[in-house]
Amino acid sequence: MYLTIYIILFVLLITGNDDIIAQDRINEPEKAREIASLMIDRDDGRKVYTQVQLVTCQFRIKNGVRVRSSNPVKKSIETLRIDVGKDLEDTISLGIINDPPAEKNMAFLQKDYDEEGKVSDQWMYFPAMKKLKRIVSQSENSPRDGSVFGSEISYEDIEKTHVSNYTYSYEDSEEIDKRLCDKIAAYPTAKYHQKTSYGKEIFWIDQETRIAIKREMYDKRDRLVKTFYCRDIVNIDGVFLNKVRVVINHDTKRMTMEKILMLAVNIPIEQELVGLRALKDTSYRESKLRVIRSLAK
């Protein structure tokens, strides 16, 4: 009998340990959850087009400052994002590499679902091989590996976040870049724990724009793995967007800067232009993009 009890307790400690640890740290969970919901559901434009420069390099710390330690790898990318569905609750995003020439027309497509528990669909198109690859995890209960276009942004990092996948804690209010932010911590639930690489995330969410100005991601040993920064926030017809995002990978000692050079918000974009055909059919895509490019500034 005692052996059975010990075994049950041991199993509970293993399977529920993260929830037990998280509960000890939880402050004002309902307030934190509401702030997280406002961040996830904020208006970031129904239809958005961007021209982006993606720069990735290694870094080292010199006199307490992060400095580049390798030649930067630069890529020019166009992106399209539109909300779809009956109530515009889902989102489809398309990214296409224009430069360097060796990677031209490589494309990435993602569909995010508002439905709780439904994971994002992701595809990558490799033009040299004329091959369309679906991005999947190694198993049903594991995160997706790999990086987006060779950056320090992983496939998992850009999947839609569902509020129900985390337990939230309100930590504090703090000013970052002269913006007053709500600082909240997010711990994956026991059900979601195996499906993510991270054991904890901390967000600094701007109280005005609901953009996460800073985001720290920790592994399951509570080591800081990545830090995301959002900079240069603009207001376009009431829609707040950040034009610069910097990702620091503390494990690989590499960083990526994503800078929007041209931007257009809430412009006409046909849903077919963010479909699987647009991944592979360059002529079709270009015929549609010419008009859209003329609207960006």
For every residue of 109-145, DSSP letters joined together read: EEEE--STTPPPEEEEEETTTTEEEE---SSTTSPPP
Would you say 127 and 105 are in contact if contact means Cβ atoms under 8 Å apart? Answer: yes
Any idea which residue has 């993009």 for tokens?
289
Indicate the SS3 state at residue 87.
coil
What pLDDT score does 11 carry? 40
Where is pLDDT greater, at 276 or 111? 111
pLDDT in tens, 57-92: 999 999 989 999 999 999 999 999 999 988 899 999
Domain range summary for the chain, segments of one domain joined by +: 2-295
Residue pLDDT, tens place only, 150-197? 999 999 999 999 999 999 999 999 999 999 999 999 999 999 999 999
Q: What is the predicted pLDDT for the residue at 145?
A: 81
The residue to which tokens 């901390």 are assigned: 202
What is the pLDDT averaged over residues 235-261? Answer: 97
CATH of the domain spanning 2-295: 2.50.20.10
Q: Is residue 26 within 8 Å of 167, Cβ to Cβ?
A: yes
Largest CA distance in the chain: 75
Q: How many CB atoms lie within 10 A of CB 219?
A: 14
pLDDT at 249 over 90: yes
CB neighbour class for 104 (10 Å; exposed up to 12, middle 13-18, buried from 19): middle
Decide if 223 contacts 171 (C-beta within 8 A). Answer: no
Q: Which two tokens stand for residue 182?
A: 């709500």
State pLDDT tens for residues 6-54: 433 334 444 444 444 446 779 999 999 999 999 999 999 999 999 999 9
* Over residues 118-146, mean pLDDT: 87
Over 90: is that where the pLDDT of 104 sits? yes
Record the pTM: 0.88
The whole-number pLDDT of residue 23 equals 62
- The pLDDT assigned to 143 comes to 87
Question: Given a cut of 50, is residue 4 above it in pLDDT?
Answer: no
